[in-house]
Amino acid sequence: MTVTYEDVARANGLDPARLDVEAVVPMWNAAVSHRAAYVARCRTTADVQAAVRTATALGLPLSVFSGGNDWLGRAVRDRGLVIDISEMTTIEVDVEARTARIGGGVRADALAKETESHGLTPVTGTVGLVHVLGLSLGGGYGPLAGRFGLACDNLLAAELVTADGSVRTVDAEHEPDLLWALRGGGGNFGVVTAAVVRLHRIDPVYSGLVVYPWSQAESVLTRLDPLLTSAPDELTVQTFIMNGPDGAPSVTLMPTWSGAAERGPEATAAVTTLGDPISSQLGPTSWHAMIAAAAESFPPGRNAHFRTRNVASFTPRVVRRLVEAGASRTSPLSALAIHHFHGAATRVPGTEAAFGERRPHRLVEISGMWEAGGPSDAAWADRVHAALADDAMPGGYPNLLGPNDFDQVRDAYGAGAGRLLAIKARIDPDGVFTATPLPMPGR
Ligand SMILES: Cc1cc2nc3c(=O)[nH]c(=O)nc-3n(C[C@H](O)[C@H](O)[C@H](O)COP(=O)(O)OP(=O)(O)OC[C@H]3O[C@@H](n4cnc5c(N)ncnc54)[C@H](O)[C@@H]3O)c2cc1C
């Protein structure tokens, strides 16, 4: 008698009706070409357990899909079984405790919308379409990091389905090592089917965009440097080198003030006087409105090739390199997005989270992007990455690093690398889960 994949699924507790064959999984980056053999549409933790067991029984590579926003498409392994948790979107807010218990597939803007109705705000990235756990497991930079730490620093507990199909409760009391690993070590330990995240009570943020013309790029970036270095925790300034609203290259600054609302205009004023801006549109807004609006600027369906470097500051040479990078883009969609890492995020001790770089820095996200079918700008991103090498700090942001960034991956977890690999060997000895790259043992 022939045993079908349906039989295997059923025997492992997975309803075959929830297992699609060769279904297309939507990826943010249209350049991702690998395709799933099976997609298990999971709605419950039991579904996820059954899907993990089914993948093992079928001998298939396994991956976890939440939103498909990883630029390398790591939510899908070629010819493998994808555990699709995008329907696991419950959100329960505990107003008193200022926490939310969320399903593994919750989007950042959905969480922010729900918590806003309770007067509370989660720590997310800048763009609402990114999913909370995919972001948090790798780190989670965003405009609230200066005040409340990275998204991973606000991850309090998790329900984790591990490679043997069992469920573990992960929190500071039960599995402190695993909690530490999940805070920055990526989706390398199992499927986070649910999590508890910390929420914050803040005023509406004061934010928006200040656009400087390209002719002032060098002087604006030079003057921005001391402002970034001395910014209070409540002020984070993101820098974009990209085409402005008129289609011409620009330095666009996005200050976000998360302190007392009435102080917003005064706290962000210095960002508007670094040169003569073409436009300056700042004002109060809710966190949800801000990240939901940003999502519209980064729609899925374009081709992307990302690289990343961390720099400690904008030295004259770094500024020159950034300006050269802006001028040499060959696609109007390509950009540099520079995240400001300071304040509370720098004060989290290495004992709390696997995320490895706590010194103040600026994360340069080198975003080669082009329309599907158009000429590639991948070589530009690679050139900029190489040009910044001499001025970069070791390591880099795991959510953006690729498997071939050996040196950066080796250094990304600093002194925590050994502990992270020991936990990986204990929890997932056969390497069933592969997400963001981990350092090679012994390197
Ligand atoms: C438009 C855009 C804006 C971005 N902005 C920011 C930003 O402001 N700050 C920042 O830090 N990063 C940012 N990123 C990067 C982003 O954080 C990562 O790409 C992140 O991994 C996406 O997670 P996802 O769940 O949305 O996508 P997916 O591709 O579905 O997941 C990414 C990885 O995480 C794993 N994973 C996801 N959920 C789980 C889970 N519950 N359990 C186990 N593994 C899981 C997946 O298997 C995969 O390997 C941005 C990316 C994009 C495309």
pLDDT (tens digit per residue) in 5-30: 999 999 999 999 999 998 889 999 99
Mean pLDDT of the 119-140 span: 98
**Residue 140 DSSP label:** -
Contact between 179 and 171 (Cβ < 8 Å): yes
Residue 262 alpha carbon to ligand 1 centre in Å: 34
Residue 166 alpha carbon to ligand 1 centre in Å: 24
Is 9 strand, coil or helix? helix
192 pLDDT band, cuts 50/70/90, is very high
What's the start-to-end Cα distance of the chain, in Å? 49
Is a pLDDT exceeding 90 seen at residue 210?
Answer: yes
pLDDT at 246: 86
Residue 3 alpha carbon to ligand 1 centre in Å: 36
Residue 389 alpha carbon to ligand 1 centre in Å: 25
Contact between 41 and 87 (Cβ < 8 Å): yes
Give the pLDDT confidence of 152-179 residue by residue, as tens digits: 999 999 999 999 999 999 999 999 999 9
31-35, 343-347, 349-353, 357-361: lowest mean pLDDT where? 31-35
Go through the domains of the chain in sequence order and give each one's CATH number.
Answer: 15-84 (3.30.43.10), 91-201 (3.30.465.10), 205-408 (3.40.462.20)
Residue 365 alpha carbon to ligand 1 centre in Å: 14
Strand partners, 310: 363
pLDDT at 245: 83
Is 174 strand, coil or helix? coil
Atom of ligand 1 nearest to the CA of 73: 29
> What does the alpha-carbon distance between residue 17 and residue 13 come to, in Å, rounded to a whole number?
12
Is a pLDDT exceeding 90 seen at residue 207?
Answer: yes
Task: Please name the residue that has the structure tokens 């972001």.
Answer: 135
- Ligand 1 atom 29: the closest Cα is on which residue? 68
Is a pLDDT exceeding 80 seen at residue 441?
Answer: no
Report which of residues 403 and 65 the model is more confident about: 65
Nearest to 387 by CA among 320, 295, 298, 335: 320
Contact between 373 and 402 (Cβ < 8 Å): no
What are φ and ψ of residue 322, in 5° steps?
-65, -40
3 pLDDT band, cuts 50/70/90, is confident
442 pLDDT band, cuts 50/70/90, is low
Task: Please name the residue that has the structure tokens 């989007």.
Answer: 107
Query: pLDDT averaged over the chain?
Result: 96
Is a pLDDT exceeding 80 seen at residue 1?
Answer: no
What are φ and ψ of residue 129, in 5° steps?
-75, -15
- Decide: residue 441, CB within 10 A, 0-12 exposed, 13-18 middle, 19+ buried: exposed
Mean pLDDT of the 108-132 span: 98
Atom of ligand 1 nearest to the CA of 64: 47
> What does the alpha-carbon distance between residue 252 and residue 214 come to, in Å, rounded to a whole number?
10
Task: Please name the residue that has the structure tokens 């994808």.
Answer: 82
Ligand 1, pocket-test mutation among 39, 107, 130, 303, most atoms within 8 A of CB = 130
What does DSSP say about strands 235-243 and 249-257: parallel, antiparallel, or unpaired? antiparallel
Atom of ligand 1 nearest to the CA of 397: 11
Residues with CB under 6 A from ligand 1: 28, 63-70, 74-75, 85, 104, 125-127, 130-131, 133-135, 137-142, 187, 191-192, 298, 399, 435
pLDDT at 373: 87
> What does the alpha-carbon distance between residue 103 and residue 192 come to, in Å, rounded to a whole number?
8
Report the sign of the C-alpha dihedral through residues 168, 172, 173, 175, in that order.
positive
pLDDT at 401: 97
Nearest to 45 by CA among 95, 6, 101, 100: 101
Task: Please name the residue that has the structure tokens 């991948």.
Answer: 378
Give the pLDDT confidence of 257-305 residue by residue, as tens digits: 999 999 999 999 999 999 999 999 999 999 999 999 999 989 999 999 9
Mean pLDDT of the 137-153 span: 98
- Ligand 1 atom 1: the closest Cα is on which residue? 298
Atom of ligand 1 nearest to the CA of 29: 53
Mean pLDDT of the 327-349 span: 97
Give the pLDDT confidence of 229-261 residue by residue, as tens digits: 999 999 999 999 999 888 999 999 999 999 999
What tokens were used for 280? 């300056």
